[in-house]
Amino acid sequence: MTAVVTRDAAGPRPATRSAARRGAWTYGLLGFVVAVALWELVTRVWLTSNAQLAAPEDVVVALGRLVTEGTFWAETGRTLRAWAIGLGLSLALGVVVGVVIGSSTVVWHALRPTLDFLRSVPGIALMPLTLLLWGPTLRSDVFLIVFGTVWTLIVQTTYGVRAVDEMTLETARSFGFNRLQRIVLVVLPSSLPYLATGLRIASSVAITVAISAELLIGNPGLGNQIGLARSYGQFTDMYALILTSGVLGVVLQAGSTALERRFLRWHESQRGVRE
Amino acid sequence: MHNRWVLRGVELVATAAIFAVVWIVVGSNRSYIAVPVPDMLKTFWSVWTSDHLWTDALPSLRRLAIGYVAAVVISVSLGFLLGMSRRLRLACLPVMGFVRAIPPVALLPIFLVVFGVGDVMRISIIVFVCAWPILLNTLDGLGELDATMMAATRSYHIAGWDRLFRVLLPAISPRVLAGMRTSLSLAVLLLVASEMLASSGGIGFFLFQSQQAFKLSEMWAAVILLGLLGYVLNVGFSVVERRLLRWHASTRRD
């Protein structure tokens, strides 16, 4: 216990920053090389005794073959579509309900216990239910995504609305803005940081829920393909598809972070992060 | 302006009203999937006071507890290890970022291949997935240590275990707890998922079985139990967190 991490802010000086970035890339790459080498090692040692393992080079070859097939893209598209529809619905619902709830202390308190309860219900518990109601369908995926994300979005919006500067609101009122104008021009923009945080969390929850539901109850999509590959004993394909789901996760994460940074550049200083 | 007790009252009355509405709506619903609330509660009670408590509920809780505690211990230790070397962090963080981005349930098939169908698989997937948020938060916490505080620690010759338990761990605890909160819901998710995918017992297994057999009351009993479990864990966590962080600015009343 000798070394203490130094503050990153006090890190490299501007002149050496690009060199430092190159260094970071080198080390990051090294990390991936070591990880793949470890994977290779594991399969070399155990592959003979466990045919369900697959070496990295085989998985890459499988991935190369998969990306030329239509099914792969169709199923990935289905997962993404569920993600987009679910998240979109959830966002619309969350903002509207959140603004309503956030505008009144009494309503907020009246609904808070119920919201807190619903928010902590694990959405996975509802999967068998949706299976009974709609079978393995896009609808079931969308429902589960909305259930898994909407409470967080409502609560985040509510926090945002309740954190609106009273003075700004009063100013808008005295300039004769009506209720709708106040909501659109004052309340929504200033609660945007909270909403963005909520959306970033919701986006990763949504993809997790979609893949889970597809894998566990057979909703159409990438997760279902993973499950199918497993039950057909096509383990190399299975690993390739799991890697794909990771890439999807990375892309969506990077996307939402980039969006957040772009739209909230003006707001960076007072970004509120709750949970 | 608004009296605190009045707001408490509003919370109670409104929540009771919502519950009553749900009771009535579900009771009068003709969908085959809706089970009247009294039946639901009756089944809930009879299922979870029968053998299922020992064969399903408690084994699940045990897996959850073991996996979660192991994840906390391992990831905080790893965090300190990685915290010691910037180069090690630079090498590990991108890989960790990728592994973390894989939707956790998609990792289950790999764990099935490596660990087979057993408690080892179910516990290790919880450990593996829950470790990331805590590990990353530990690293963030270590990266934000107050320089003045560390200098003071050095000047007073506080070292070894004292330094670890009285300076470093308390300093990063808000971060670690934030990570632990994220991990808590992941733990429940993976517990249920692993029991649904391959198991011979557990709440998730019971849930799936009941659905397959069209035993709707039993299925609802499992759904309610999982809902309550999620809620109790969350509330319990908040209580513990507030107690542990009473000294910290973020929890103080302003």
Number of domains in chain B: 2
Do the chains contact at B15 and A114, CB–CB below 8 Å? yes
Q: What was the pLDDT predicted at A179?
A: 84
* DSSP one-letter string for chain A: ----PPPGGG-S-HHHHHHHHHHHHHHHHHHHHHHHHHHHHHHHHHTTT-TT---HHHHHHHHHHHTTSHHHHHHHHHHHHHHHHHHHHHHHHHHHHHHHHHT-HHHHHHHHHHHHHHHHS-GGGGHHHHHHHH-SSHHHHHHHHHHHHHHHHHHHHHHHHHTS-HHHHHHHHHTT--HHHIIIIIIHHHHHHHHHHHHHHHHHHHHHHHHHHHHHH--SSHHHHHHHHHHTT-HHHHHHHHHHHHHHHHHHHHHHHHHHHHHTGGGGGG-----
Let me know whether B162 and B121 are in one domain.
yes
The answer to whether residue B153 scores a pLDDT higher than 90 is no
Let me know whether B67 and B192 are in one domain.
yes
Condensed to tens digits (0 to 9), the pLDDT of residues A239-265 reads: 999 999 999 999 998 888 888 887 776
Residue in the block written with tokens 């898994």 = A148
Confidence of residue A274 (pLDDT cuts 50, 70, 90): very low
B99 Cα to chain A: minimum distance (Å) = 7
Q: What was the pLDDT predicted at B128?
A: 94
The answer to whether residue B24 scores a pLDDT higher than 60 is yes
Let me know whether B9 and B98 are in one domain.
no
Condensed to tens digits (0 to 9), the pLDDT of residues B205-236 reads: 888 888 888 888 888 899 999 999 999 999 99
Let me know whether B30 and B41 are in one domain.
no
User: Which is more confidently placed, A87 or B252?
Assistant: A87
Let me know whether B193 and B222 are in one domain.
yes
Choose among A62, A64, A56, A52: nearest CA to A39.
A56
The answer to whether residue A154 scores a pLDDT higher than 50 is yes
**What are the domain boundaries of chain A?**
15-53, 59-270
Compute the distance between CA of residue A263 and CA of residue A240 in angstroms, rounded to an integer: 35
Compute the distance between CA of residue B103 and CA of residue B100 in angstroms, rounded to an integer: 8
Compute the distance between CA of residue A215 and CA of residue B193 in angstroms, rounded to an integer: 10
Q: What's at A214, amino acid-wise?
A: E
Query: For B149, which residue in chain A has the nearest alpha carbon?
Result: A4
Kindly tell me the sign of the dihedral angle through the C-alpha atoms of B51, B52, B53, B58.
positive
Let me know whether B58 and B111 are in one domain.
yes
Confidence of residue A84 (pLDDT cuts 50, 70, 90): very high
Q: Which residues of B118-151 are buried (b: 16+ CB within 10 A; e: fewer)?
A: ebebbbbbbbbbbbbbbbbbbbbbbbebeeeebe
* B37 class by beta-carbon count within 10 Å (0-12 exposed, 13-18 middle, 19+ buried): middle
Do the chains contact at A120 and B86, CB–CB below 8 Å? no
Q: What was the pLDDT predicted at B250?
A: 60
Choose among B168, B162, B123: nearest CA to B150.
B168
Do the chains contact at B90 and A8, CB–CB below 8 Å? no
Q: What was the pLDDT predicted at A221?
A: 92
The answer to whether residue B252 scores a pLDDT higher than 80 is no
Let me know whether B26 and B144 are in one domain.
no
Let me know whether B207 and B133 are in one domain.
yes
| Mean per-residue pLDDT, B102-107 | 92
Q: Tell me how far CA of residue A126 lies from CA of B71, B110, B223, in angstroms.
A: 26, 24, 7
Residue in the block written with tokens 């998609």 = B106
The answer to whether A179 and A220 are in contact (CB under 8 A) is: no
The answer to whether residue B253 scores a pLDDT higher than 60 is no
Let me know whether B202 and B231 are in one domain.
yes
| Mean per-residue pLDDT, A149-174 | 89
Tokens of B99: 């592994």
Query: For B209, which residue in chain A has the nearest alpha carbon?
Result: A128
Choose among B128, B92, B93, B88: nearest CA to B108.
B128
The answer to whether residue A273 scores a pLDDT higher than 50 is no
Q: Tell me how far CA of residue B89 lies from CA of A4, B13, B73, B82, B168, in angstroms.
A: 13, 52, 19, 6, 19
ipTM score assigned to the predicted complex: 0.87
Q: What was the pLDDT predicted at A268?
A: 54
The mean predicted confidence, pLDDT, of chain A is 85
Let me know whether B25 and B50 are in one domain.
no
| Mean per-residue pLDDT, A68-77 | 92
DSSP count for chain B of H helices, then E strands: 12, 0
Q: What was the pLDDT predicted at A244?
A: 93
| Mean per-residue pLDDT, A83-108 | 92
Confidence of residue A49 (pLDDT cuts 50, 70, 90): low
What distance lies between CA B32 and its chain's CA centroid? 32
* Partner residue facing A216 (CB), from B114, B197, B226: B197
Chain B contacts of A245, Cβ < 8 Å?
A: 102-103, 106
Confidence of residue B127 (pLDDT cuts 50, 70, 90): very high
B201 C-beta neighbours (distance < 10 Å), count: 18
B115 C-beta neighbours (distance < 10 Å), count: 15
The mean predicted confidence, pLDDT, of chain B is 87
Residue B200, SS3 per DSSP? coil
The answer to whether residue A269 scores a pLDDT higher than 50 is no
Compute the distance between CA of residue A160 and CA of residue A189 in angstroms, rounded to an integer: 9
Condensed to tens digits (0 to 9), the pLDDT of residues A187-210 reads: 888 888 888 888 988 999 999 999
Half-sphere exposure of B228 (CA within 13 A, CB side): 12
Task: Give the distance between the most distant pair of CA atoms in chain B.
Answer: 73
In degrees and rounded to multiples of 5, residue B157 shows phi and psi of 55, 40
Q: Tell me how far CA of residue B68 lies from CA of A96, A264, B73, B131, in angstroms.
A: 36, 35, 9, 9
B43 Cα to chain A: minimum distance (Å) = 17
% of chain A at pLDDT higher than 90: 40
Half-sphere exposure of A29 (CA within 13 A, CB side): 6
Residue B69's contacts (CB-CB under 8 Å, 6 or more residues apart) are none
Q: Tell me how far CA of residue B1 lies from CA of A106, A168, A187, B6, in angstroms.
A: 11, 20, 22, 11
The answer to whether B197 and B112 are in contact (CB under 8 A) is: yes
Let me know whether B242 and B154 are in one domain.
yes
Domain range for residue B5? Answer: 1-34
Q: What was the pLDDT predicted at B130?
A: 94
Q: What was the pLDDT predicted at B2?
A: 62
B147 Cα to chain A: minimum distance (Å) = 8
Do the chains contact at A246 and B219, CB–CB below 8 Å? no
Let me know whether B28 and B90 are in one domain.
no
| Mean per-residue pLDDT, B101-107 | 91
Do the chains contact at A216 and B11, CB–CB below 8 Å? no
| Mean per-residue pLDDT, A42-51 | 75
Q: What was the pLDDT predicted at A267?
A: 63
Query: For B175, which residue in chain A has the nearest alpha carbon?
Result: A275
Which superfamily does CATH assign the domain made up of A59-270 to?
Answer: MetI-like (1.10.3720.10)
User: Which is more confidently placed, B116 or A245?
Assistant: A245
Confidence of residue A48 (pLDDT cuts 50, 70, 90): low
A184 Cα to chain B: minimum distance (Å) = 27
- At B154, which CATH number? 1.10.3720.10
The answer to whether A151 and A118 are in contact (CB under 8 A) is: yes
Condensed to tens digits (0 to 9), the pLDDT of residues B29-88 reads: 777 777 888 888 888 888 888 888 888 888 899 999 999 999 999 999 999 999 888 888
| Mean per-residue pLDDT, B159-174 | 85
Chain B contacts of A145, Cβ < 8 Å?
A: none
